[in-house]
């Protein structure tokens, strides 16, 4: 798609206040593929005013009509799914089959789920002599990351619209084109002017202005824990609702009874998917000492198969960061069994699929989020040791447990300090709540739990 040279406010594309633009670069070959406006605090203010003006009308719109608009939005996304996939491939570098299967298909499923939820959700209930109403929280400032650039947008905008909120979106500067395509889809779906607004721009400028704006009632942010901490502080000072979906260092726990080959192969696939740029990736594989060497050999062989299958990282900064972590792993004594810090191609932001063995829980690569195709394999002595290692980071976003008997895996998963656990390779469920314990965030996305984030409660006594 061709980039818009404006921002989408109050139902129309209009020039940004300033002249600055952000170049969009294809990370596979470093070619500039477009440019979008670098919105300023003035643009954010204009967008928030439009959202505030549209709020009373949208909040009063019957849920069935909001559901109809969301269904129309889903239908436009379906009609444009090939264009979505091609756009994400161009600006993120994700291989086209993955863009089709995940970057296009998952947001369509999520949009459809909120079309249904908007129609069926119980917005009022009787409790004794009271009626309890769930009302929209107001104007939402949504700040989204580049790693799943359309999914993260839909996971915020769809529930906000279902709840009756209006939205100002500031998408990641690396992947703004698919956000512009989404704005076109919202327009085509007949969502009233001002209900959804898009301001492209830099995080420290437009993102900060949105988080600080007194006209924003809730800030929903997905990204790094470091930036999440800043946004949480801004929101806390203003006594403003905040939803934060932050980093992860998820454990893939392979219990001794598990089908080792399957658990290792699915585990490696999980980490290499999206070039490792997934907050919930199972980047720590925990294996019993008696099966450790076998697991390491399986993982190294599996990782080698991904050398030609994964895309680049999103930009030069991320490539340098990930290569730095790989070098640090080697320096701290971990054993490289696949990949390494050398760039596999001359152009583009590529990193080889990398696997470390002999990783101990105190190593940097076992504690910090790398956000690249890097797997650390740790050994454990017994189940209590595995649990201690699994829970031994500041994060708690996702995880996996493998065992011969489902009940054994479930018993372990219930003791993990994390928001989502896949049992024996359980499939992604767009209706299940997604979000973290500890420093992985505040609040939940997806399904009814995701809708509840955008509501506030009023009780009337009779």
Active site residues: 245, 279
Please state, in angstroms and rounded to a whole number, the distance separating the CA atoms of residues 269 and 275.
10
* Residue 344 CB contacts under 8 Å (≥ 6 apart), including other chains: 307, 350, 351, 352
Please state, in angstroms and rounded to a whole number, the distance separating the CA atoms of residues 181 and 401.
38
Please state, in angstroms and rounded to a whole number, the distance separating the CA atoms of residues 217 and 443.
15
3-state secondary structure the chain: CCCCCCEEECCEEECCCCCCEEEEEECCCCEEEEEEECCCHHHHHHHHHHHHHHHHHHHCCCHHHHHHHHHHHHHHHHHCHHHHHHHHHHHHCCCHHHHHHHHHHHHHHHHHHHHHHHHHCCCEEEECCEEEEEEECCEEEEECCCCCCCHHHHHHHHHHHHHCCEEEEECCCCCCHHHHHHHHHHHHCCCCCCCEEECCCCHHHHHHHHHHCCCCCEEEEECCHHHHHHHHHHHHHCCCEEEEECCCCCEEEECCCCCHHHHHHHHHHHHHHHHHCCCCCCCEEEEEHHHHHHHHHHHHHHHHCCCCCCCCCCCHHHHHHHHHHHHHHHHCCCEEEECCCCCCCCCCCCCCCEEEEEECCCCHHHHCCCCCCEEEEEEECCHHHHHHHHCCCCCCCCEEEECCCHHHHHHHHCCCCCCCCEECCCCCCCCCCECCCHHHEECCECHHHHHHCCEEEEEEEC
Nearest alpha carbon to residue 78 among 108, 116, 113, 112: 108
Q: What are the φ/ψ torsions at residue 68 (nearest 5 degrees)?
A: -65, -40
């Amino acid at each position: 798609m061709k980039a818009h040279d404006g921002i989408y406010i109050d139902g129309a594309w209009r020039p940004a206040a300033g002249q600055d633009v952000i170049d969009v670069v294809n990370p596979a070959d470093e070619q500039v593929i477009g440019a979008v406006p670098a919105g300023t605090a003035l643009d954010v203010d204009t967008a928030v005013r439009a959202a505030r003006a549209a709020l009373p009308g949208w909040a009063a719109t019957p849920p069935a009509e909001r559901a109809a608009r969301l269904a129309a939005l889903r239908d436009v996304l379906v009609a444009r799914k090939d264009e979505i996939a091609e756009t994400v491939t161009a600006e993120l570098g994700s291989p086209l089959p993955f863009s089709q299967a995940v970057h296009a298909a998952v947001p369509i499923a999520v949009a459809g789920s909120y079309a249904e939820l908007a129609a069926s959700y119980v917005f009022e209930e009787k409790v004794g002599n009271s009626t309890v109403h769930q009302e929209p929280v107001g104007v939402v400032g949504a700040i989204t990351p580049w790693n799943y650039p359309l999914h993260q947008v839909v996971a915020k905008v769809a529930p906000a619209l279902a709840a009756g909120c209006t939205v100002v979106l500031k998408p990641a500067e690396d992947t703004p084109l698919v956000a512009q395509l989404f704005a076109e889809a919202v327009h085509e779906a007949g969502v009233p002017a001002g209900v959804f607004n898009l301001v492209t721009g830099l995080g420290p400028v437009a993102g900060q202005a949105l988080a600080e704006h007194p006209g924003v009632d809730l800030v929903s942010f997905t990204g790094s824990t470091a930036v999440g901490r800043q946004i949480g502080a801004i929101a806390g000072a203003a006594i403003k609702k905040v939803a934060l979906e932050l980093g992860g260092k998820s454990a893939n726990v392979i219990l001794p009874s598990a089908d080792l080959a399957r658990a290792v192969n699915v585990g490696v696939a999980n980490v290499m998917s999206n070039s490792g740029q997934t907050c919930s990736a199972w980047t720590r594989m925990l294996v019993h000492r008696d099966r450790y060497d076998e697991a390491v050999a399986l993982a190294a062989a599996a990782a080698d198969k991904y050398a030609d299958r994964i895309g680049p990282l999103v930009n030069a900064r991320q490539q340098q960061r990930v290569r730095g972590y790989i070098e640090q792993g080697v320096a701290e004594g971990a054993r490289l069994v696949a990949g390494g810090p050398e760039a596999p191609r001359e152009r583009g932001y590529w990193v080889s699929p990398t696997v470390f063995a002999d990783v101990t829980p105190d190593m940097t690569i076992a504690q910090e989020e790398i956000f690249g195709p890097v797997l650390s394999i740790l050994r454990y002595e017994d189940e209590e040791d595995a649990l201690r290692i699994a829970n031994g980071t500041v994060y708690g976003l996702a995880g996996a447990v493998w065992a011969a008997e489902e009940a054994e895996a479930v018993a372990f998963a219930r003791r993990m300090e994390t928001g989502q656990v896949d049992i024996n390779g359980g499939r992604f469920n767009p209706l299940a709540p997604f979000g973290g314990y500890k420093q992985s965030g505040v609040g939940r996305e997806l399904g009814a739990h995701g809708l509840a984030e955008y509501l506030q409660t009023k009780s009337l006594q009779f």
